[in-house]
Amino acid sequence: MSFPLLTATAVLPALGAVATAAVPAARREAAKWLALLVSLGTLVLAVLVAVRFDPGGARFQLTESYDWIPAFGVRYELGVDGIGVALVLLTAVLIPFIVLAGWHDADPLETQSKRWRPTQGFFALILMVEAMVILSFEATDVFLFYIFFEAMLIPMYFLIGGFGDRAHQGGEEAAATQRSYAAVKFLLYNLAGGLIMLAAVIGLYVAAGSFSLPDILAARADGELTMGTNTERLLFLGFFLAFAVKAPLWPLHTWLPNAMGEATAPVAVLITAVVDKVGTFAMLRFCLGLFPEASKWATPVVLVLALISIVYGALLAVGQRDIKRLVAYASISHFGFIILGVFVMTSQGQSGATLYMVNHGISTAALMLVAGFLISRRGSRLIADYGGVQKVAPVLAGTFLIGGLATLSLPGLAPFVSEFLVLVGAFARYPVVGIIATFGIVLAALYTLVLYQRTMTGPVRPEVAKLPDLRVRELAVAAPLIALLIFLGVYPQPLTDLVNPAVRHTMSDVQQHDPEPEVEAAK
């Protein structure tokens, strides 16, 4: 039996979480270093997964399959395609930066209520989320996927509610109230979607006789599995609703600005750059794979919702006064582009959507983490409390600018390739959809440049005159992320070669082909 590499990639951070939580209270620095080493070890395993994966080989590779609950047909079944490998890599790459950026976010802090922030618990929860997200990207048994899809809500709830932003303007009591509200809202929205999905998972087993995605795909391809039209549509809606909440898609998005606003910057990155990607990934893998006809039936409505997310999220980002909430609404707009790419049903759109998941994760991490460094110095999230930062902290301002330019998809930075492919895919099949989506690019330039202008340029405000520039630890976070944005912006081929075969499989599942280009006949 070959080494279970996929299991090891998830088990290592899970065991690391237990070990980190068990570190004695007086050894919190040891807990930080342990969490960082575990996250780096997980990155090494994720790289091995990518190295051993053959893009031109079988659809699902490095597979593992064991009986788990035979009486109910549930198996511990893992496997990755190119899309799964790309997102496992994204998760493993970002977690070490999240750990480094949050190095002091949970240090003991005696407050008016005499409560202490348990450092070990903070880092243990981050590692546990990493383990569950990786397993979600690897699971090919639908029931197994559902378990980790829901289980990751528990550590995220405690990260949002128990380790909130210290730069809250309303004082500790107001901050605790807002954190609790944001955490409960996050949990309720996602639990509601998950419960509906559970009913659909059970319905899938009744209709297909299996929870195994590869088995269901094979049975459908051989003509051995057919679902009634109404049955398939109802099951699709059950799955899609849960994924749309996680994504987050308008109008199920309202939990995200609260959660990102009240969480620390590293946890905000964990939410939008890592956890939320499970929703868009699952749309590609499960909605289109399991319910191809229903996916095509729902496409017009999904495209409209995606367009609303793009424009609505960008418009609200323009009007924000809070830096973190601005990034949250910008992310809603970007997730609209990802979902648009998935459902335009073209290979360019779906390749662009997958690249967008990866590149949005990197660009949002760069922008939000640097913004978190800025907020921790000034003690305020309000844009109006800044001005002239580039004169006193030029390196901080420069990295903030590059992160912002990546967010607006500037050519030469990684998100540009993703957005370009999504729009090419949209124009190929739905030109009007592509035209409307383009307005999101204009609005992105507006909110990003206005944010930079109001915080970094102009006269130096007295409150920021003595802000220190980025320190060594903070540079160790920002510099590699900026380097990745530039590298993947200039040379995206490693990612496209990885995901394109998986996209072709997905296009085959839904029996779609790219539209033929319309070329005027030569006269």
Q: Is residue 161 part of a domain?
A: yes
DSSP, collapsed to helix, strand or coil, labels residue 475 as: helix
Q: Is 303 exposed, middle or buried, given 0-12, 13-18 or 19+ CB atoms closer than 10 A?
A: buried
Q: Is residue 217 part of a domain?
A: yes
Which residues lie closer than 8 Å to 2 by C-beta, 6 or more apart?
none
With beta carbons less than 8 A apart as the criterion, state whether 315 and 336 touch: no
- Report the 10 Å Cβ neighbour count for 69: 12
Q: Is residue 160 part of a domain?
A: yes
Most confident of 6-10, 111-115, 224-228: 6-10
pLDDT-derived band at 114 (thresholds 50, 70, 90) equals very low
pLDDT of residue 1: 46
pLDDT of residue 384: 86
pLDDT of residue 12: 96
Lowest mean pLDDT among 162-171, 330-339, 419-428: 162-171
With beta carbons less than 8 A apart as the criterion, state whether 397 and 457 touch: no
pLDDT of residue 115: 44
- Report the 10 Å Cβ neighbour count for 173: 12
Q: How many domains does one find in the chain?
A: 1
512: part of which helix (H) or strand (E)?
none
With beta carbons less than 8 A apart as the criterion, state whether 121 and 21 touch: yes
d(CA 510, CA 505): 9
d(CA 247, CA 315): 19
Mean pLDDT of 325-343: 93
For the chain, give me the number of helices (H) and strands (E)?
22, 2
Q: How far apart are the first and last CA of the chain?
A: 64
Which residues lie closer than 8 Å to 325 by C-beta, 6 or more apart?
257, 260, 261, 381
- Token digits for 33? 């270093």
Residue 176 vs residue 128, higher pLDDT:
128
pLDDT in tens, 260-293: 888 889 999 999 999 999 999 999 999 998 999 9
pLDDT in tens, 146-175: 999 999 999 999 999 888 776 555 566 667
d(CA 30, CA 248): 36
d(CA 215, CA 262): 43
**What is the percentage of the chain residues whose pLDDT exceeds 70?**
94
Q: Is residue 520 part of a domain?
A: no
pLDDT of residue 247: 87
Lowest mean pLDDT among 163-177, 191-205, 306-320, 416-430: 163-177
Sign (positive/negative) of CA torsion 178, 183, 186, 191?
negative
**Which residue from 230, 232, 237, 227 is spatially nearest to 301, judged by alpha carbons?**
237
Q: Is residue 521 part of a domain?
A: no
pLDDT of residue 517: 67
Q: Is residue 416 part of a domain?
A: yes
With beta carbons less than 8 A apart as the criterion, state whether 36 and 20 touch: no
Count how many Cα atoms sit within 13 Å of the Cα of residue 470 in the half-sphere of its side chain. Answer: 22
d(CA 233, CA 295): 8
- Token digits for 45? 């395993």
- Token digits for 456? 């970094």
Question: How far, rounded to the nearest angstrom, does the alpha carbon of residue 412 sit from its chain's CA centroid?
Answer: 22
Sign (positive/negative) of CA torsion 245, 248, 249, 255?
positive
d(CA 80, CA 88): 9
Lowest mean pLDDT among 220-224, 338-342, 373-377: 220-224
| DSSP string over 2-31 | ---HHHHHHHHHHHHHHHHHTS-GGGHHHH
With beta carbons less than 8 A apart as the criterion, state whether 325 and 261 touch: yes
| DSSP string over 29-58 | HHHHHHHHHHHHHHHHHHHHHHHH--TTS-
Q: Is residue 262 part of a domain?
A: yes
DSSP strand pairing (61-69 vs 74-80)? antiparallel
Q: Is 33 exposed, middle or buried, given 0-12, 13-18 or 19+ CB atoms closer than 10 A?
A: middle
pLDDT-derived band at 463 (thresholds 50, 70, 90) equals confident
Q: Give me the domain span that covers residue 445.
A: 5-509
d(CA 284, CA 295): 10
Q: Is residue 195 part of a domain?
A: yes
Which residues lie closer than 8 Å to 116 by C-beta, 6 or more apart?
108, 109, 110
